Amino acid sequence: MNKIVNFLGKPRTIENVIKNRKISWLELFYDLIFAVVFSRLTESLLEHQTLTGFINAILTFFWLIWGWGELSGYFDNHGNDSIINILIINIDMILIGLASIFIPEAVNGNFHYIT
């Protein structure tokens, strides 16, 4: 088990502060995914200008922004260049990208595909 942990890398502890930490290109691309999410949400809300559409858009927004906040907080506190951290952010980007495809259905009230 130690060999796997050594190969994948361990997240850094919160006490291990990186001085002059720079944001990586991967983190910037991760934030760009959420620009697409906001765009899809606003386009979908314009198509469904009802109270139900607005509530569904708000629910979808908070669900996706919660995920963004959790992963961003993780990388601020524990992120490093280990393989496991790079896998985590790439898998999350893929899942958020796939979820953004189904945002119009979620705003319309069909949360089946986005979940």
Instruction: Specify the number of domains making up the chain.
Output: 1
Angle at 67 between CA 74 and CA 75, to 5 degrees: 15
pLDDT at 100 over 80: yes
- Would 7 be classed as within a structural domain? no
- Would 11 be classed as within a structural domain? no
The whole-number pLDDT of residue 97 equals 87
- Would 96 be classed as within a structural domain? yes
Q: What pLDDT digit, counting tens, does each position of 14-29 carry? A: 777 777 777 777 778 8
pLDDT at 55 over 80: yes
- Provide the residue range defining the domain that includes 100: 21-107
Token pair of 6, please? 């050594």
* 43 — pLDDT class (breaks 50, 70, 90): very high
Mean pLDDT (whole number) for 34-54:
91
CA 21 remoteness from chain centre: 21
The whole-number pLDDT of residue 59 equals 92
pLDDT at 76 over 90: no
Residues 9-40, buried b or exposed e (16+ Cβ, 10 A)?
eebeeeeeeeeeeeeeeebeebeebbeebeeb
Mean pLDDT (whole number) for 6-17:
72
- Would 102 be classed as within a structural domain? yes
- Would 90 be classed as within a structural domain? yes
- Would 6 be classed as within a structural domain? no
- Would 47 be classed as within a structural domain? yes
- Would 103 be classed as within a structural domain? yes
